[in-house]
């Protein structure tokens, strides 16, 4: 469903997948301030409609569940066509479970959304931008991609998949000599529904995160850890010996 304007179409268009709350919602609003028309995609239609009303006539809405990958791929293609093409696609949809008991239901759901769902959306975006000969694909991964986690094994592994998959797409584009840009964003803690509990620290607001993500997009960065203070944690995570890392939990 769409709100259309009689005015001339805006020069820039973006789609944010996972736009109903948190980082995705804040980033959609940030892109709007930069003059983008925005496609808003997520499972929760009422929240998307609230955001559409806030943005106004430059917002396009698609309800989609990326875990239903075939259906979500078709819906993303429809949204691209409805917007008469896009310049930027941000794949932000994701879930996370603290799962110390290794419940298979939680692991399966995480893999379905964060791995299969992500790859399906990236596949559509990649093929579209290569045909178009221009564009920018952005993933929202996590600093969790850097090491495994005993309390959230599937979540950390799924984010490592996202970052490595984006590396693979970047490699393919380089071999093609394509100008399409690939950016992988690795946030630390951001104050969203997924970042809960006593061990959450240095948590940025979604608006702070969206601002730094926008700067990475604007500069066509290959990778960016946000917020900046999390770069220190990233270095430590890479350097700590396994024995120390395991004791720290």
pLDDT of residue 146: 85
Question: Is residue 105 predicted with pLDDT exceeding 70?
Answer: yes
pLDDT of residue 54: 97
Structure confidence by residue, pLDDT tens digits, 116-157? 999 999 999 999 999 999 999 999 999 888 888 788 999 999
The catalytic residue among 36, 155, 165, 245 is 155
Terminal Cα distance for the chain, rounded: 46
Structure confidence by residue, pLDDT tens digits, 25-66? 999 999 999 999 999 999 999 999 999 999 999 999 999 999
Contact 34, 63 (CB under 8 A): no
Question: Is residue 6 predicted with pLDDT exceeding 60?
Answer: no
pLDDT of residue 179: 97
Task: Report, as an integer, the average pLDDT of 172-192.
Answer: 92
Per-residue pLDDT band for 96 (boundaries 50, 70, 90) equals: confident
In order of their start, the domains of the chain are: 12-248 (3.40.50.720)
The residue with greater pLDDT, 174 or 96, is 174
Please confirm, yes or no, whether 36 is among the known catalytic residues: no
SS3 for 137? Answer: strand
Distance from C-alpha of 58 to C-alpha of 212, rounded to nearest angstrom: 23
Per-residue pLDDT band for 2 (boundaries 50, 70, 90) equals: very low
11-15, 20-24, 84-88, 186-190: segment of lowest average pLDDT? 186-190
pLDDT of residue 209: 92
pLDDT of residue 192: 66
Distance from C-alpha of 142 to C-alpha of 186, rounded to nearest angstrom: 4
Give this prediction's pTM. Answer: 0.88
Nearest-10 Cα torsion for 84, 36, 174, 226: -150
Per-residue pLDDT band for 199 (boundaries 50, 70, 90) equals: low
Structure confidence by residue, pLDDT tens digits, 205-237? 899 999 999 999 999 999 999 877 767 776 766
SS3 for 174? Answer: helix
């Amino acid at each position: 469903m769409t709100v259309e304007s009689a005015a001339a179409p805006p020069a820039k268009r973006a789609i944010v997948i996972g736009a109903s709350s948190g980082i995705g919602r804040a980033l959609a609003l940030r892109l709007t301030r930069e003059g983008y028309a925005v496609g808003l995609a997520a499972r929760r239609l009422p929240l998307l409609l609230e955001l559409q009303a806030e943005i106004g006539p430059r917002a396009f809405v698609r309800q989609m569940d990326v875990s239903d990958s075939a259906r979500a791929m078709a819906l993303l293609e429809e949204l691209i066509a409805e917007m008469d093409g896009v310049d930027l696609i941000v794949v932000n949809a994701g879930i996370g479970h603290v799962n110390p008991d290794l419940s298979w239901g939680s692991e399966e759901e995480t893999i379905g959304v964060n791995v299969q769902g992500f790859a399906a959306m990236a596949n559509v975006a990649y093929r579209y931008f290569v045909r178009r000969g221009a564009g920018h694909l952005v993933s929202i991964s996590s600093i969790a991609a850097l090491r495994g986690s005993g309390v959230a094994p599937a979540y950390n592994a799924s984010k490592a998949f996202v970052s490595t998959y984006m590396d693979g797409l970047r490699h393919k584009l380089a071999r093609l000599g394509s100008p399409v840009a690939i950016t992988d964003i690795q946030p630390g803690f951001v104050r969203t529904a997924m970042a809960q509990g006593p061990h959450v620290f240095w948590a940025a607001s979604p608006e702070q995160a969206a601002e730094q993500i926008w700067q990475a997009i604007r500069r066509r960065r290959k990778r960016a850890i946000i917020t900046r203070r999390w770069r220190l944690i990233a270095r430590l995570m890479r350097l700590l010996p396994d024995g120390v890392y395991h004791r720290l939990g």
